[in-house]
Structure 1
Amino acid sequence: MNSENSELILTKNEKLSLDELLHEKGLSNYDVIIEAGSQKGDNFMGKIARIIIKTTTTPELKLILKCSIRNGEFRTIFPHNRMFQREIFMYTKYLPELYKIQCTNQLQNGLMPVPHVHKYSWKDCNEFILMDDMKHHGYEMLDRRKYLNMDHCKLVLHQLAHFHGLGFVMKHTQPQLFEKWSSDKQTNMIASNLLRNTSYEQKLMEMFTRASLALDPFTDEDILRKFLAYKNSMLKNLMDLEDPEQKDNYCVFVHNDCWINNLLFQYENSSKIIPKKLCLIDWQISNINSPIKDVSYFLYQSTDPNLLTENFSKLMDYYYEQLTECIEKCHLSIETVYPYDIFEKHLKRYMRHGVHYMIITGALHLSNEDEIPNHTMNMDKDRFTEDTLNIRSKNDQLYNLRIRGVIKHAILNNFL
């Protein structure tokens, strides 16, 4: 077994699971090569290793091992075990149920495949998932610092519409199972854990102020005034959108972290202009909420604000059309499941979610690899908040351009 560094050496349980998988596949006399599966900044909640199995008689088997951070203060900042349990549930129970619904109703252009999970563990401090490497199937992750164009944007909205639509179908046709699976009315685990940190509210206000400085006090005078007026209510609105008691009956499972790093694209040809397939990954913080949370987070994190300004209504029409098609092909009425007036109501309420998290995570997402703190080291809550969420980068100008566009779009559409 070859490994690039000591951090990539498998634990006993990981090795046993890999050996078991290879035995099930009838493989013997093989070499195992372990490589880093991601760069710093690509995955914030664990470590990714790429495992390549080479034999003399069969094609290479390529796998991804996603494992938790096993020690240090970072485990106490976020509930790693619950997050791995949630991702395992999504991959092995919820998503397969959606695919069954899709197959039963013969949806030909619906929710596209996610990585197949071969082995997993949610044993405390030994959490891992062993799954297919989608890169081996022609998928790739794009640069998180670049905008997605219209073709990419529509493909993502198409997939979100079918993910949410199939969830609505399950909710209406299998209410007991849906209720059982959604009975854990947990909040966004990242938000709820950070907000228990007494210093976080102060840092949140600092991040808000930093975002406001991206607005020009002269040309953006009215936008700036309205944005500053929102400051005192931002924290309450942030938590209200996560509060289970404030959710209505039009909520389903959402991805909850739908941005460019969790989107893998496959292309028609080497020009890589028009994507033909999309694979959604990283389901660790999925929960029950409005589908607009996913739409908002994606649009404000990963697309050009100018594209939004010019095409927002068209994009929302496209999403709702795809959602309607998915639901009605499953023999349900969109007016019963998710009527248009509720959709509009959710847009007004939940589009601010993407603004909140662009303020909180935008600078981090746009930073270069060598600028991102090593949060897997012994980092306490205060240091995480200061070093990670309040990061300064060579790309601060890019952050300022993006956050300015996001704020302007949200204010002009009365989302804040």
Structure 2
Amino acid sequence: MSQSNNFITNHVHLCLENLVNKLHIRNYTIVLSAGSEIGSNFSGVIAKATIKGEDENGKKMVRSFIIKSAPRDEAYRTVGLINNVFNREIYIYKKVLHEFDLLQKEKNVKNPFKSYPKYYESSMNDMNEAVIMENVKDYGFVTHNRQKPLNYDHTLFVLREYGKFHALSFAMRLHKPQLLKEMAENTQENFFTTDQCAEMHNVFVQQSKRVLSAIDPIKEKILYERFKQFQNNMVDTVKSALISDLSNPHFIITHGDCWTNNFLFKYDNSMNRHSPISVCILDWQIAHYGSPAHDLSYFMFTSTDKSLRDHHYSSLMDEYYKSFSDFLKELGGDPEKQFPFKTFQEHLKKYSVFGLYMTIECLFIMTSDVEEIPNMHSISQNDELSKQMKYDSKNVEAYNSRMKDIILDFVRLGYDF
């Protein structure tokens, strides 16, 4: 298969050109460059496309887009369920977020949930799967250092946006139940719960052994025994927690992939990045119909440290629920009937195990230096993903410390695992 360059295939390049023509940009040139660093995206090749040309009036203009296209390595495509995840992300942009936007307009919502990049075009052509989106960095959004936990202000901002996003599923169930049913059926969890994901689970199991070996079975007996018990049944436990129960009235369409890499923040003052004024949520490839706690636990335990959780975890969950409740009321719903606070707490206890599971590997990547992380888009048939990810990190002590803190929190909070 021919490629136009190292970033996108000829087919995807034609999709980009068609988009540029639709936007009535004339006499244009396209310059492609890398759109992300290693370790920031594992299910897509990210390219930045800079378009220089003229508008319909002959005025010079510059536009840029982000293109997420599928890895072409056959082995990785199989392990990473590439066709599935691109199909899911395209469905979220074209159908779910579109319908959520229409509902908010119908209800005259003053401050709608729009914390995601604008979708322009996509391809599901085999080996050429791709999504073309606006480049929100043009509007001042920037990445956060993934090795540094988020502070209170960043955490609060994300949780409030998740509250609004989650409320939309409940509002859709109230106002357009058949549409919500259709979207739920089309967003059933089909990544971690499938047999095809066995190699991915092997990576997590392998990493969990590292975690257990770092816990002192004598001095840290409770942590050791609880985590060992979890490890023995880890994959089955997580699969069970992720089953998309279509009859559950408290399940929603989740974001699904909630580590720091998938948030871009905007600030009033680019020199002072303490308090964001906006967030953009990226990567909807493993979005699924499930518990709100899937998103919250994944986000809280990968992206914050124990000090913040010790001081603010309870109040942050209150803030999430307040944002959820206020937004659902604005959409015409009743949070006390549709998702009571007590039920929300029960979900945190039962379904947060997904967050613990995701920290095992995500946190290892987040604490590693860029040069340590292997390029998983080019594994060979004889080099399983678990072998690729069996690398040593000079920051392993920081990883072990944060993992112990997370296990301690699960014990302290009384969460099931």
Name the TM-score, length of structure 2 as normaliser: 0.92
**Which residue of structure 1 lines up, in the alignment, with residue 40 of structure 2?**
42
Structure 1 equivalent of residue 229 of structure 2: 229
Segments of 5+ residues of structure 1 without an aligned counterpart are: none
Deviations 1:346-394 (CA, angstroms, capped at 9, x unpaired): 0110112111111233212322221111222143486202222x43212
Residue 307 of structure 1 and its aligned partner are, at CA, apart by 0.6
In 1, the alpha carbon distance for the partners of 2:387 and 2:191 equals: 19
- 1:161 equivalenced with 2:163 (yes/no): yes
8 A contact 2:201–2:235 mirrored in 1: no
| Count, aligned residues | 409
Q: Give the letter for the 1:223 counterpart.
A: L
Contact 1:72–1:376 at 8 Å: present in 2 too? Answer: no
Verify: 1:128 aligned to 2:126, yes or no. no
Aligned-residue offset at 1:193 = 4.7
SS at match of 2:32: strand
Q: Deviations over 1:107-133 (max 9, x none)?
A: 333413421122211111111111110
Amino acid at match of 1:127: E
**Which residue of structure 2 aligns with residue 215 of structure 1?**
215
Equivalent pair of 2:147/2:367 in contact (CA under 8 Å) = yes
Structure 2 CA distance, aligned partners of 1:107 and 1:25? 29
Write the mapping of 1:15-414 to structure 2, written as runs, cut at 5 A.
15-55=13-53, 57-184=59-186, 186-190=188-192, 192-193=194-195, 195-197=197-199, 200=201, 204-217=204-217, 220-245=220-245, 248-270=248-270, 271-380=272-381, 383-388=384-389, 390-414=390-414
One-letter code aligned to 1:313:
S
Contact 1:77 1:380 in 2 (8 A): no
After superposition, the C-alpha distances for 1:11-51 in whole angstroms (9 at most, x for unaligned) are 33222222222222222222221110011111101101101
Amino acid of the structure 2 residue aligned with 1:228: K
1:284-342 CA deviation, whole Å, 9 max, x = no partner? 11110001100000001111121112111101111111111111111211122111221
SS in structure 2 of the partner of residue 40 of structure 1: coil
Structure 2 counterpart SS, 1:392? coil
2:14 partner amino acid: L
Q: CA deviation at 1:246?
A: 9.1
Identity %: 30
Runs of 4+ more than 6 Å apart: none
Deviation readout 1:391-412 (Å, 9 max, x if unpaired): 3212111211211111111111
Which residue matches 1:7?
6
Q: CA RMSD in A?
A: 2.2
Distance in 2, matches of 1:204 and 1:234, equals 9
State whether residues 42 and 261 of structure 1, in contact with CA within 8 Å, keep that contact through their aligned partners in structure 2.
Answer: yes
Q: CA deviation at 1:221?
A: 3.2
Distance (whole Å) between structure 2 residues aligned to residue 195 and residue 122 of structure 1: 21
Amino acid at match of 1:396: V
One-letter code aligned to 1:111: F
